[in-house]
Structure 1
Amino acid sequence: MSGLRLRQVLICCLCLLVLDQSALAARLDNLFQADAPASGRDPAARQAALKQALATVLVRITGDATLANNGQARTLLREPGRFVAQYRFNETPARKPGAAPELHLWAQFDEVALTRALRDLGLPYWGRDRPDVLVWLAVDDGGKRFLVSDTSRNSLADTLHDAAQQSGLPVSLPLLDLQDQRAVSFSDLWGGFLGPVQKASERYRPQVVLVGRVDRSRSGWNGQWTLLGAGASHNWTVHGVSAEDTVQKGLSESTSLLASRYAVVASDQGSRQVSVQGIDRLEDFARVQGYLSSLSPVEQVQVAMVKGDEVQFSLQLSTSEQSLVRLIRLGHVLEPLSTGADALWQFRLIR
């Protein structure tokens, strides 16, 4: 599409972008939703449940599991109602015969109000752009050694997915089909031979690989964890009272490590010009504009220049430029034209 033709359709794009932004917001809804047990429907019980639900959301959108101990965060938890967009009580059948149904409160919090409050307090915010994490989990329970797969019928797979949902981390497990079994073995994972693991992971195309080794000890369970990706490699150990507890702690630390890289803290505003090539259709323009607008450091997006299939966008930022670079490269929308320093802000649309 010529530069003249692209200019002629920019007004049409604005209408399309309104719809596009709504679609992006819908994808964010689950980050700001939480469920908490409620002891009743009275105001005091409702306030307590809302406080717990808000605490869950704050951990999810900051990546900090210790946030409840932060004095600034506690100011948000004192009045959870001012961030509530909607809530409802739900009853689930009792787990034991003859027991009363279990009462829960579900709440949807106001994304704009809550992110603004985090910014005003100088707290980090981790937006919708998060790396895909593939988890290889090896378990030695003292009598049996096994790998946990996506189709495993055991509590550890459920624990992993539940913990990932609580933290807002997109986690998956390998299929462990014949292809995986030929590529990697229990001994590879247990021995810390990461080469075969990384090779076997390629078919899943994750941005981060998490390797966990969990085993029973006399005092409980131990977990050795390795995070590969996000520009670095990290190793740590945890101890838990059960295998499930050990997996939860391992995933919590993974979330904290990733959040430390991708969560942003508001600073003095600035602007940055970003050039994107390969935009030759109306849909391409809408896709790039919508994607840039959805990034958490970006306050505003304007078109600065159109030349052929290249569009230069002017971005108003609320945080550092490096935070923006990391988030752009995390997504699957734009790719750098080259690795040179001169091309840091030059991208091509990925088809």
Structure 2
Amino acid sequence: MRNFACLILLGLTFSGYAATQVNIYRSEVMLDQEQGEDQARIQGMENVIIRATGEKEAVDNPVIKKALSQNRLYLSQISYGQKDDQKIVQMQFSAKQIRALLTQAQLPFWPVKRATILVWYVEDQNFQRNIAWENVSNANVQQLKQLAEKRGLPLIVPVGDFDDITSIEASDIWGEFLQPIRDASERYHPDAILIIRAQSDTLNWKLYDQTPEKLLDISVPPMSGRLSGDDELAQLVDQLTQYYAKKNRVVVAGQSSHSMILNVKHLSRAVHFFKLEQALNQLSSVASVDVIQIQGDEVTFRVHLLTTQEAFEQELASLNLIERLPEADDGMAGLDESSADHSQVLQPTSSEETAVGATATEPRQPESPQTDVHPAEDSDGKKSLNDVNSQTLTDTPVETNQSPLLYQWRERPVSEQSEDNAQTEDNAQTGSSQDTSSQSPLPQETP
């Protein structure tokens, strides 16, 4: 009966060997009095982001922080259950949505097919050395597997059946004799072999990032380290995860398709452009903003969204900087071919690379360096966008089949009125002379 059980365990072990496909989009979080369901969903999504990127710092990305508050949009399934007498929430997140989010956040993606690591774990206690087997409970090995599962790192432990016991001894692993380690590992077909020697509160580990057949190849040096402390296992998983995530990560090029074209007219000052771009980037519904074109006093943005278009338009209405144009206004004159013919074409990498300085009618030399800066403004912030040469930015082409949102700058935005009033009050107190063309008139003194 015992041998039959070992065969079943061995079969389960083999089902995960060689490039294991990890379900990185599933998360399970325990609920308690201190953590409600909303916080559990956020934690579940954080776990998925960390597994998908291999980086714990990924959750600090500004785009990811915004998306966490919109976690329901990324959920594809949620259920509840019990585990160890505690209520748990089980979540499955949408792979497509998470991948699109990582693209928007410009974060690397660690593919779901990941190297399978066979762990030979030997403990030295009271001058006795023992190998940790899958079918024999070991608290440290169980903790190691749980930590690795949270990070999406596939680990397998030898079953410990008759073949294992007779093919290798603890002294072989402790002494790192590669021949018996290779022979005992071949049956598991791992992609890498991890040797851990545990003594007291110290771990010595060595990773051979190669299959057993190539284990004797001395031209490939192993990775090694020494850890100590209460969190030594967590440190080990961190180091292994960082190594494999960096080795296999994919940086997704291009832009997310979930975006809108926003055209804004009557930006008479360069400072208006800066205010608007900054305000758009701060919206919770926005992942990022690209400047597609500046033509006269008209600017066209591509806005990459984290939410629906309706939610984005509601936030736009709350800006008090711009207002919607009537639908009869065609609005996109800045994108016609005649305008583009007299525009300079650049290749920026972000919305902060809007070029300025040259005359629009001046031919651009292919060999000349690009000037990648924002539109310049004068010291009092009154420079007109008409003074900035007209340009078409072609890093992200306009989708002709997508209806743009047409807006215009408000005559007197609330924020601008507040700034002007504050500046006027300061000028009255200091008695300094200021250019009154862009400020409210100074109050008349009472005789």
Query: Structure 2 length as normaliser, TM-score?
Result: 0.46
Does the CA contact (< 8 Å) of 1:39 and 1:103 recur in 2?
Answer: yes
What SS class does the counterpart of residue 152 from structure 1 fall into? coil
CA offset digits 1:35-77 (Å, max 9, x no partner): 1122369xx8222101111111112112224434555543443
Find 2:223's aligned residue among 223, 231, 234.
Answer: 234
Measure the CA separation in 2 of the matches of 1:197 and 1:191.
10
Q: Which runs of 5+ in 2 are unaligned?
A: 1-19, 211-219, 256-447
State whether structure 2 residue 31 is matched by structure 1 residue 38. yes
Measure the CA separation in 2 of the matches of 1:124 and 1:171.
22
Q: Quick one: percent identity of the two aligned structures?
A: 24
Measured on the aligned residues, the alpha-carbon RMSD in Å equals 2.8
Q: Which residue of structure 2 aligns with residue 225 of structure 1?
A: 205
Q: Which residue of structure 1 aligns with residue 149 of structure 2?
A: 165
Q: Which residue of structure 1 aligns with residue 383 of structure 2?
A: none
Q: Which residue of structure 2 aligns with residue 84 of structure 1?
A: 75
Q: How does 1:102-141 map to 2 (within 5 A)?
A: 102-141=86-125
Deviation at 1:137, TM superposition (A): 0.6
Find 1:64's aligned residue among 50, 55, 68.
Answer: 55
What SS class does the counterpart of residue 226 from structure 2 fall into? strand
- Relative to structure 1, is the Cα distance of residues 195 and 57 closer, same or farther in structure 2, using a 3 angstrom cutoff? same
Does the CA contact (< 8 Å) of 2:209 and 2:222 recur in 1?
Answer: yes
Measure the CA separation in 2 of the matches of 1:196 and 1:92.
40
What SS class does the counterpart of residue 122 from structure 1 fall into? coil
- Relative to structure 1, is the Cα distance of residues 235 and 54 closer, same or farther in structure 2, using a 3 angstrom cutoff? same
Does the CA contact (< 8 Å) of 1:198 and 1:209 recur in 2?
Answer: no
Find 2:236's aligned residue among 250, 253, 256.
Answer: 250
- Relative to structure 1, is the Cα distance of residues 88 and 229 closer, same or farther in structure 2, using a 3 angstrom cutoff? same
What SS class does the counterpart of residue 192 from structure 1 fall into? coil
Does the CA contact (< 8 Å) of 2:27 and 2:90 recur in 1?
Answer: yes
Measure the CA separation in 1 of the matches of 2:227 and 2:69.
32
Aligned residues between the structures: 227
- Relative to structure 1, is the Cα distance of residues 75 and 234 closer, same or farther in structure 2, using a 3 angstrom cutoff? farther
What SS class does the counterpart of residue 148 from structure 2 fall into? helix
Alignment-mate amino acid for residue 35 of structure 1: E
Q: Which runs of 5+ in 1 are unaligned?
A: 1-26, 95-101, 270-351
Q: How does 1:1-351 map to 2 (within 5 A)?
A: 30-39=23-32, 45-92=36-83, 94=85, 102-142=86-126, 144-216=128-200, 221-229=201-209, 233-241=222-230, 245-267=231-253
- Relative to structure 1, is the Cα distance of residues 66 and 210 closer, same or farther in structure 2, using a 3 angstrom cutoff? farther
Deviation at 1:145, TM superposition (A): 2.4
Measure the CA separation in 2 of the matches of 1:112 and 1:79.
16
Measure the CA separation in 1 of the matches of 2:202 and 2:66.
36
- Relative to structure 1, is the Cα distance of residues 35 and 197 closer, same or farther in structure 2, using a 3 angstrom cutoff? same
Deviation at 1:189, TM superposition (A): 2.1
What SS class does the counterpart of residue 113 from structure 2 fall into? coil
Deviation at 1:165, TM superposition (A): 2.3
What SS class does the counterpart of residue 32 from structure 2 fall into? coil
Measure the CA separation in 1 of the matches of 2:63 and 2:88.
27
More strand by share: 1
Does the CA contact (< 8 Å) of 1:65 and 1:256 recur in 2?
Answer: no
Measure the CA separation in 2 of the matches of 1:131 and 1:189.
22
Measure the CA separation in 1 of the matches of 2:127 and 2:244.
34
What SS class does the counterpart of residue 208 from structure 2 fall into? strand
Measure the CA separation in 1 of the matches of 2:112 and 2:126.
40
Alignment-mate amino acid for residue 38 of structure 2: Q
What SS class does the counterpart of residue 31 from structure 1 fall into? coil
- Relative to structure 1, is the Cα distance of residues 93 and 156 closer, same or farther in structure 2, using a 3 angstrom cutoff? closer
Measure the CA separation in 2 of the matches of 1:183 and 1:252.
31
- Relative to structure 1, is the Cα distance of residues 185 and 69 closer, same or farther in structure 2, using a 3 angstrom cutoff? farther
Deviation at 1:190, TM superposition (A): 2.0
Alignment-mate amino acid for residue 83 of structure 1: Y
Measure the CA separation in 2 of the matches of 1:172 and 1:133.
6
CA offset digits 1:274-294 (Å, max 9, x no partner): xxxxxxxxxxxxxxxxxxxxx
Measure the CA separation in 1 of the matches of 2:117 and 2:185.
10
Measure the CA separation in 1 of the matches of 2:173 and 2:84.
41
Measure the CA separation in 2 of the matches of 1:264 and 1:222.
34
More helix by share: 1
What SS class does the counterpart of residue 235 from structure 1 fall into? strand
CA offset digits 1:69-95 (Å, max 9, x no partner): 55554344343222111222323453x
